[in-house]
Amino acid sequence: PMLPLPPWLGAPAGSADTPRLHVGPSRSGVARGIAAGASAGVSTGRLALTAAGTATVCVSAASSLLLHRVQRRRLRHRQRCQRVPRSAEMAQSVAPVVGSAKCIECFAALGPGQRLERWTYVVESSAGADEVDVEITHCGVCHSDIHQIDNAWGVASFPLVPGHEIVGRVVAVGEGVGQFQIGEAVAIGVQRGSCGSCSCCLSGMDNVCAKILKTYAGLGNDRGGFAKVIRFPSRWVFKCPSGLSAEHIAPLMCAGITVFSPLKRFLLAVEGGAQGKRVGIIGIGGLGHLGVQFAAKMGATVVAISRTDAKAAEARGLGAHDFLASRDAESMSAAAGTFDVLLNTVSSTEDLDAYVGLLKPRGVMACVGRGLSSREVLWKCPAKCGQVGPAGAWRAGEDYFRQLFGAVC
Percent of the chain with pLDDT over 90: 54
Q: What pLDDT is attached to residue 54?
A: 36
The residue that leads in pLDDT, 43 or 200, is 200
Q: How far apart are CA 248 and CA 250, in angstroms?
A: 6
- pLDDT for 28 beyond 60: no
Q: How far apart are CA 184 and CA 51, in angstroms?
A: 23
Mean pLDDT of 65-88: 38
- pLDDT for 164 beyond 90: yes
Query: Where does the pLDDT of residue 24 fall: very low under 50, low under 70, confident under 90, or very high at 90 and above?
Result: very low
The DSSP letter of residue 302 is E
Q: Residue 268, Cβ neighbours under 10 Å: how many?
A: 16
- pLDDT for 73 beyond 90: no
Q: What pLDDT is attached to residue 371?
A: 66
Q: Which of 151-160, 327-336, 358-367, 377-386 has the lowest mean pLDDT?
A: 377-386
Q: What pLDDT is attached to residue 407?
A: 72
Q: How far apart are CA 159 and CA 92, in angstroms?
A: 12
**Roughly how many angstroms between the first and final C-alpha of the chain, as a whole number?**
30
- pLDDT for 86 beyond 50: no
Q: What pLDDT is attached to residue 390?
A: 61
- pLDDT for 346 beyond 70: yes
Query: Where does the pLDDT of residue 300 fall: very low under 50, low under 70, confident under 90, or very high at 90 and above?
Result: very high
Q: What pLDDT is attached to residue 395?
A: 60
Q: Is the pTM of this model over 0.85?
A: no
Mean pLDDT of 129-147: 95
Q: Residue 384, Cβ neighbours under 10 Å: how many?
A: 8
The residue that leads in pLDDT, 86 or 161, is 161
